Each structure stands twice: as structure tokens, then as C-alpha cells.
Chain A
Amino acid sequence: MKFKKLASLTLVGGLFAGSAPAMADDLTLCWAAWDPANALVELSKDFESQSGHSMSFEFIPWPNFADRMLNELNSGGKLCDLLIGDSQWIGGGAESEHYVKLNDFFDKEGISMDDFAEATVYAYSTWPKGTPNYYALPAMGDANGWFYRKDWFAKPELQEAFKAEYGRDLAEPKTQRELLDLAKFFQGKEIDGNKVYGAAIFTERGSEGITMGATGALYTWGFKYENTPGKYDMEGAVNSPEAVEALEFYKELYKCCTPPGYTDSYMGESLDAFKSGQVAMAMNWFAFFPGLYADPDTGGDKIDFFVNPPQNQAGSTLGGQGISVISYSEKQEAALEYIKWFAQPDIQAQWWSLGGYSAHNSVLNDPGFVDSQPFAGDFLEAMNDVQDFWQEPAYAELLVSMQKRLHDYIVADKGTAKEALDLLIEDWTEVFEDEGKL
């Protein structure tokens, strides 16, 4: 009798379970704490209302983002169901199986990677690089660009002085050398009663700052990580005469034209220097440009933007991230639902309008895109020529070595550019030998 009761209860329960809607989950999305993250919170409200799931967010300040998140992944943590992780993590995320492979899901849901900008798919989604194995959906296109005080550039007395000194108009630089001229011109000038400086550039030692800044120069001189892609043959590529020249250039820019005490500066310091009216030009990620343009004191008519100027060739340091589902998450189904929702063209259009940088072709190829924001055209141009740091599983080791060698040379005046790059090759060779790739 008891068995019969139990069996009938189980049957009824089973029937109810079968007909009930999928259970609502509370998803946690992890990302860096910056302006686009706030835009994503706003955007995600639509997902919450559509799906019934609720969203929580874990935003980590940039200087600690990599440490915090990589520790989380390496320990198999379940804090994040979704992670918008840096492009360089894709190799480690895929090989250590932190990220869920998304190919089957994309096929099932009809999500095509052809709908996203090729450079972003290559950089944010694929591992091994360029193969059709996807571990993330391009979420936030980004590159390192420049912004400047348009109102200072427009001052007749400065225009006159610049023309007299350099024989050309005071305008956005066409090359890296012109950028240096501009920085030198503004360094120490008195404008509106304040002493101002040439440029705010990245010199930070602790995470990735100086590497992200200096590669902006290196790529435009033609720097390559390897002679033959995939062979790890770095001699002659990493320390090529062009790379040496580019590194010397970046050091000159740092020495001549940055504000005092600018020895350990990254995104925050660059924004502060510009917003406080200290510098004529500053480098930073495009992600910050909407906020800069909206700034009541230094935005609007006072600011304009330009893509990282070419030298021997065009080149910009890649930023940006893809969104991945964490393999340790117990809510993978709901997390995939979020990705499906996020990949929709209308959501991507909203993402751009809120301040996020969509990588969806329907947004980027829209005829109105270039004029939609004053920096939109520069963003498109930059994304055509982006280059990224190593995306190897051992990327953290490779990055720490580059940070050290560059900071030693640029900020601490240790050795020559050639010596710094030679030592970098030694460090990287050791890493690849340990990895069994050399």
C-alpha cells in the first residue's frame, strides 16, 4: 500500500515537473569595473524581464581583475556563471577547460561567427588561434586610441607658434613622430593660467599597463612576436631594428612629455590627467571614450579623438573581451540563454547605444554607425589594424616578463632598448621551453 502511494506521488510529481517552466536562476556575470560594465547592467534588465532569470554582477577593479579572475578559474570557483574575460585568457581558458566550448551551442541556436567582425572573432573567441573552435562570443570590441584637447589645438596663438616651430598646422598627428612633436610642443606650456604637459601614456608596472602602451608604438613600427607564426622563433622579430627604434621612441615620449610622477600610470591616471586639464593628449581604451565625451568639463566641444597614428604601418593594441560560460557553473543552461539573447542584432544595437562596443556586423556596418558618435569612425579604423599580445596558455608569464623588461628600460633607465628586448627573448624562450613548445 505504502509503495503504491509513493509511486503515485512520484508520478504526479513527475508530471508537474514536466509541464512546469524552466526554473529561474540567479546568474552571476563577472567583468572588470569600468564604464561599459554599468552599461551592461542596464542592458541586462531586458534579459531579466524576458527570461525570468535574475542577474548579479561581480565587477573587479582593473588592476586586480586578472589576478582575481584567474585565481577564481584556476581554483575551479563557482562565483561566475558568465565571464567577460580578457582576450589573452582564451588560450588558458580553453586548454585548462575553464570555458565551455560553444560550437555545438552556436550551431543549435543558429549563431554565426560570420555575423561578428573578423578581428574580434579571431582575438576573443578562437583557440587555437584562427581555428573554428569557439570559447567566447565577442562581447566588447576595444583598442587603444588617443584623445586630445580640441579647444587647445584651436587656439590661434598656439597654432601660430606650432606652425612657426614645426612648419605644419597644429592638428591631429598623422604619424607617431608627429605625435611626439605635438607632445613636445605642449610640454610645459602655460594654457589658461596653468602649466600643462604633453601626453598621458601607460607606464604601469604591476599588471599590463606599460606593455599595452608600448606595443602601441611597437606595432606601428612593424614589431612581430615571431618570424613565422606558430614557430616561436623570436630572434630577429622581437628585437628587430624596428622594434628597438619603436621602444626608444616610447621612452623618449615618456621622458620628454609626461606629467611629473608619471612612473606607474594606467587607465585611471590617464583619465585623471586629462580630466584635470593637465595634458594635451592622452592614450586610453576606446571603452572610456563615451564617458570622456560626456564629461562636463573636458568633454563635448573640448575633446576629439584619433586612432593610434601609424609609423611604418598602421597598428593598434587590441583590448576588448569575449563573453564565456564557465565550465564550473551549475547554471550553464541559463548562462547560454544569456549568450543567445546577447547575440541578437537588436540587443547588440542597444549595447552600442548604451556605451558598449558591439562587434556585431549589423551594428558596425550600419550606414549611420560612423556618425553615431565622434569616435565611432576611429573605432572602426582601429579595429581593422589591431594586434594582440600572446594569447598562449602561459600568457601571464609572458606578460610579467614583458612588464619587467619594458619598465626596467623605459622608466628605470636600465640598459638599452636592444638589451631589454634581448632579455625579453631569453625570458620568453625559457617559458616556451617549459611549455614544451621549443
Chain B
Amino acid sequence: MSFNPVEQAAKQTPPAIARRVRGLSDKAIAWLFVGPTIFLLLAINIFPLIWTIYLSFTNFKANRPNREIKYVGLRNYERILNDADVWLSMQATAHFLIWTIVLQVIIGFALAWLINRKFKGNDMWTTIIVLPMMLSPAVVGNFWTFFYQPQIGIFNYVIGFLTGKDPSSFEMLGSVDLAPWSIVIVDTWMWTPFVMLICLAGLRSIPDYIYEAAEVDRASRWRQFWTITVPMVLPFLMLAVLFRGIENFKMFDLVVQLTGGGPGSTTELASINLKREAFEKWRTGYSSAFAIILFVTVFGLASIYVKALNKVKER
């Protein structure tokens, strides 16, 4: 006679519990399993969201709990949308978002294409390239501030060496013109490996026989690249863009460490502006409205993008 553990466990279940469980429908058991997760989701995500929406219509300040909370209607939303500084921070965010994604996609794809070729030391180079993304953003921000230091920074030294300029004659983090690019450079340095890994997965998923068939048809390398490689890697690439887009829209730590939003407000991204409003000025109602606007923006853009991604996948 064979040993059946399920049968054995069923026999050992106390009759009272067994009777109770036997009485539950499949649906009830399913709820029993997903219930705790749904409860946690509601408590951690949905309730704060609803609470934030409520606060966005008030003048509440978290540092003044004794102050009377007044309903202010849409005033917070009006103020934000009419605030020139908010639009400047959105522009700074757009600059950062667009350029980091463009550079990371181009460099990441190029690196993946190179790494995908078989050569000696392939694995070692892959490991070296992915190192930056393994570091903490706070650490990266900190040491890049030293790299960018005009008097002792290696970045300025290298640029000075290549161009013949005095290294201390320009300031990457302190210049209004260069600071937005300095944060783009660091984010690109750190996160291009991530895009590269996703592209590499895409490249390795293309079966060899497709290229072999193309060779038989005498398709050139250039044509193979545009008609086989790019279309088949595109869904992966779009996924990488989605991840980086969402991450960089809410970018905070790296930029705070590098520039603190400065000089002036040149690199004050939307998330930094939001943090200042919420936890330095303590305008909780106002910052709740700001957070809702950002949430709707990201959610809306991401939804449109995911639809496009699905269409590409279906092709």
C-alpha cells in the first residue's frame, strides 16, 4: 500500500476543524487565501491614496495638528497648476527623463549588442559593466560630487586633459547650464547596465535559425539588423523604457545627493519640489494635491505606454 501524505494529513486533522473546512466552498477558501493580501493592499496602498485625495482638498499641515482643518475646494490644485515654479520643476523632470532614457537606450542597446557577440572575457566584461547599478544611489551621488569637484575632481581633470581647459574653470554641479547634464550623466552611468541586461535578454531570445534563413536569402547584415534584431528586441526595449521612465519620473535620492536641486532650482525635479513642500514647508494639503497630480500623470502616461507595448508584442 502506497503512502499518501494528503490522505494522512486529512486523517490527522481534528474532526471539528475538518467539519468546518469541509463546509467551505472553493470561493470561500480562495478568499481565505487572498483576503490577508487584499487587506494589506487596502491598508498600505488604497487607504493612503484615498486619505491623500481627501487631504488635497484641505489646508492641513502635519506640523500643526492642533490647527483647524478647513475644506479649501480646488484651491490647492489651482495654485499648483498656476505656479510657475511647479512648471519649471516639471520641465527639469522632463529634461532629465527624456535625456536619460534616450542615452540609456542607445548606449544600453549598443553594449548589449557587443556583449552578445562571443569573445574572450565576455562574462568578466558583463560583470564589470553591471557594477554601477549594484551600488546605492546615495553612494553614487556622493562620490560623483567628488568626481565633479572643480579643483580635485577626476571628471574635470579628464575634460581638462582632453580639451586643454583649466579643470577649475568650469563647474558641473554649480553651473546652471551644466548641472542638468551632470545629473543625466550620472544616472546614465548608473542605469545603462540595467537597459543593457534587458536588451541582452531580448537579443539572446532571438533564435539563430531566423538569422540563418536570412543568410540563405542573402539579406545583408544591415537588413538583418533592422528587420530581425530591432523588431524582436523592441518589446524588451520598451519594457526597459517603461521601468526607467517610472523610476526617473520619481527620481529623488541621486539628484538630492548631487545637487540638492540647485543651483537655485535648476535641477529641482518634481519629486524634490514635492518633498520640500511636504516635509520642509509642511504644506500637507498642498503637497497632497501635488502628489495626486503627479500620480495621475505617471499613471496616465504608463497606461498609454503599456497599451502601445502590448500592440508591439502582438505584432
Cβ of A172 < 8 Å from any Cβ of B? no
Residue of A nearest to B68 (CB): A436
Give, as a whole number of angstroms, the nearest-CB distance from A417 to chain B: 14
Cβ of A408 < 8 Å from any Cβ of B? yes
Task: Check if B265 sits within 8 Å of A74, measured CB to CB.
Answer: no
Q: Which of B258-274 contact A (CB under 8 A)?
A: 259-266
Task: Check if B174 sits within 8 Å of A96, measured CB to CB.
Answer: no
In the complex, per-residue mask of B277-298: 1 if CB is within 8 Å of any chain A CB, else 0: 0011111000000000000000
Count of B interface residues, CB-CB < 8 Å: 31
A70, A205, A411: the one within 8 Å of B63 (CB): A70
Task: Check if B263 sits within 8 Å of A397, measured CB to CB.
Answer: no
Task: Check if A404 sits within 8 Å of B264, measured CB to CB.
Answer: yes
In the complex, per-residue mask of A314-329: 1 if CB is within 8 Å of any chain B CB, else 0: 0000000000000000
Cβ of A67 < 8 Å from any Cβ of B? yes
Residues of B within 8 A of A264 (CB): 173-174, 259-260, 262-263
Task: Check if A261 sits within 8 Å of B149, measured CB to CB.
Answer: yes
Given contacts A261-B150, A261-B173, A396-B63, contact A205 B262 (CB under 8 A): yes
B62, B176, B260, B282: the one within 8 Å of A412 (CB): B176
A70, A205, A409: the one within 8 Å of B260 (CB): A205
A396, A412, A413: the one within 8 Å of B280 (CB): A396
Measured in the bound complex, the distance between the Cα atoms of B286 and A434 in whole Å is: 11
Measured in the bound complex, the distance between the Cα atoms of B283 and A434 in whole Å is: 10
Residues of B within 8 A of A206 (CB): 260-261
Cβ of A230 < 8 Å from any Cβ of B? no
Cβ of B253 < 8 Å from any Cβ of A? no
Task: Check if B171 sits within 8 Å of A263, measured CB to CB.
Answer: yes
Q: Which of B188-241 contact A (CB under 8 A)?
A: none
Task: Check if B171 sits within 8 Å of A67, measured CB to CB.
Answer: no
Task: Check if A407 sits within 8 Å of B151, measured CB to CB.
Answer: no
In the complex, per-residue mask of A60-83: 1 if CB is within 8 Å of any chain B CB, else 0: 000000010011001000000000
Residues of B within 8 A of A260 (CB): 150-151, 168-169, 171
Cβ of A198 < 8 Å from any Cβ of B? no
Give, as a whole number of angstroms, the nearest-CB distance from B7 to chain A: 55
In the complex, per-residue mask of A259-297: 1 if CB is within 8 Å of any chain B CB, else 0: 111111000000000000000000000000000000000
Give, as a whole number of angstroms, the nearest-CB distance from A51 to chain B: 33
In the complex, per-residue mask of B176-195: 1 if CB is within 8 Å of any chain A CB, else 0: 10000000000000000000
Task: Check if A261 sits within 8 Å of B151, measured CB to CB.
Answer: yes
Cβ of B45 < 8 Å from any Cβ of A? no
Residues of B within 8 A of A96 (CB): 63-66
Residue of B nearest to A411 (CB): B263
Residues of B within 8 A of A97 (CB): 66
Cβ of B59 < 8 Å from any Cβ of A? yes
Task: Check if A396 sits within 8 Å of B265, measured CB to CB.
Answer: no
Task: Check if A400 sits within 8 Å of B150, measured CB to CB.
Answer: no
Measured in the bound complex, the distance between the Cα atoms of B261 and A205 in whole Å is: 8
Cβ of B276 < 8 Å from any Cβ of A? yes
Residues of A within 8 A of B280 (CB): 67, 396, 400
Residues of A within 8 A of B266 (CB): 412
Task: Check if B262 sits within 8 Å of A411, measured CB to CB.
Answer: yes
Residues of B within 8 A of A92 (CB): 63
Measured in the bound complex, the distance between the Cα atoms of B63 and A3 in whole Å is: 51
Residues of A within 8 A of B149 (CB): 261
Cβ of A414 < 8 Å from any Cβ of B? yes
Task: Check if B262 sits within 8 Å of A412, measured CB to CB.
Answer: yes
Interface centre among A67, A74, A261, A413 (most CB of B within 10 A): A261
Residue of A nearest to B259 (CB): A264
Residue of B nearest to A206 (CB): B260
Task: Check if B265 sits within 8 Å of A412, measured CB to CB.
Answer: yes
Residue of B nearest to A405 (CB): B264
Interface centre among A67, A263, A407, A414 (most CB of B within 10 A): A263
Give, as a whole number of angstroms, the nearest-CB distance from A161 to chain B: 24
Cβ contacts A to B, 25 pairs, < 8 Å: A74-B62, A96-B64, A205-B260, A205-B261, A205-B263, A260-B169, A261-B149, A261-B168, A261-B173, A261-B174, A262-B174, A263-B263, A264-B263, A393-B64, A401-B281, A404-B85, A407-B262, A407-B263, A407-B264, A411-B174, A411-B263, A412-B176, A412-B265, A413-B176, A414-B176
Nearest 5 Cβ contacts at the A-B interface: A412-B264, A263-B174, A408-B264, A260-B150, A261-B150
Q: A261-B173, A409-B264 are in contact. List 6 more A-B contacts (CB 8 A).
A: A260-B151, A260-B169, A261-B171, A263-B262, A411-B263, A434-B59
